Amino acid sequence: MSTSAPPRRGNPGKGKGPRKRTRVRARSKKKDPLFVEGKRPRPMYVDYKDVDLLRKLINRHGRIVGRRKTGCSAVSQHAVTLAIKRARFMALLPYTGE
How much of the chain, in percent, has pLDDT values that exceed 90? 35
For position 90, what pLDDT does the model report?
95
More confident residue, 26 or 91: 91
What integer is the mean pLDDT of 57-73? 90
- DSSP-assigned letter for residue 72: -
How much of the chain, in percent, has pLDDT values that exceed 70? 83
CB atoms within 10 A of CB 34: 22
- Indicate the length of the chain as a whole number: 98
- Give CA–CA dist 82/45, Å, rounded: 9
Number of H helices, E strands in the chain: 3, 0
- Give CA–CA dist 22/37, Å, rounded: 38
For position 85, what pLDDT does the model report?
95
What integer is the mean pLDDT of 58-79? 90
Q: Could you tell me the pLDDT band of residue 34, with boundaries at 50, 70 and 90? A: confident
